[in-house]
Amino acid sequence: MASIFSKIICGEIPSYKIAEDDRYFAFLDINPIAKGHTLVIPKQETDYIFDLEDAELAGLHIFAKRVAQAVEKTVPCKRIAVLVSGLEVPHAHVHLIPLNREAEINVTAPKLKLPHEEMQEIAEKIRSNFE
Ligand code: AMP
């Protein structure tokens, strides 16, 4: 069965899309730790990130770098944290999280509840900064 992220890639499930190319896709995390929290995924569905072929894994990080630069231009922060957890969704993904203090990287803390309009606005701004 297709993962929820594969359904996002093909448009079956809506997302706050940031960017895509032929191999990778980026979109806002629906339960963000911080404003601008973005997920970057390979289009090829693989559960565990370290099962990706070397070139695919390298490409994922290179694409994530471009996305992180766009997030950093959009959301005031010291830098973009990179997190790979992957216990919830069995489709490899990299979290990009705008960070001001290390304590903000707490995946068990209550998530932000942002209105749909604000999520749309953040996604649009990041998209416009993506090069
Ligand atoms: P993990 O697998 O532990 O890295 O967590 C999966 C992440 O995917 C969580 O941060 C969820 O909020 C996020 N997530 C799950 N479903 C969606 C969705 N439909 N759109 C955007 N993000 C999602």
The CATH number given to whatever domain includes residue 112 is 3.30.428.10
63 in any annotated domain: yes
Rg (CA), the chain: 14
126 in any annotated domain: no
130 in any annotated domain: no
Residue 84 confidence (pLDDT) above 90? yes
- For residue 38 and ligand 1, the question of a CB distance below 6 A is answered with no
98 in any annotated domain: yes
Residue 103 confidence (pLDDT) above 90? no
Average pLDDT over residues 72-98: 96
Average pLDDT over residues 108-116: 93
Query: Residue 79 is inside which H or E element, if any?
Result: strand 79-83
- For residue 74 and ligand 1, the question of a CB distance below 6 A is answered with no
**0.95 cut: is pTM over it?**
yes
Q: Whose CA is nearest to atom 17 of ligand 1?
A: 30
Domain range for 54 is: 4-120
Distance 28 CA to ligand 1 centre (A): 9
Could you tell me the CA-to-CA distances from 53 to 4, 44, 91 in Å, in that order?
A: 22, 11, 14
Cα-based angle 77, 80, 83 (whole degrees, multiple of 5): 140
Helix (H, G, I), strand (E, B) or coil at 56: helix
Question: Which region among 67-76, 96-105, 114-123 has the lowest average model confidence (pLDDT)?
Answer: 96-105
74 in any annotated domain: yes
Report the number of distinct structural domains present in the chain: 1
Residues of the chain with pLDDT > 70, as a percent, come to 100
116 in any annotated domain: yes
| Catalytic positions, written as ranges | 93
Q: Which atom of ligand 1 is nearest to the CA of 85?
A: 4
For residue 39, give the nearest of 9, 10, 76 by alpha carbon: 9
Query: Residue 126 is inside which H or E element, if any?
Result: helix 116-129
115 in any annotated domain: yes
128 in any annotated domain: no
For residue 10, give the nearest of 31, 41, 53 by alpha carbon: 41
Residue 72 confidence (pLDDT) above 90? yes
pLDDT band at residue 106 under the 50/70/90 scheme: confident
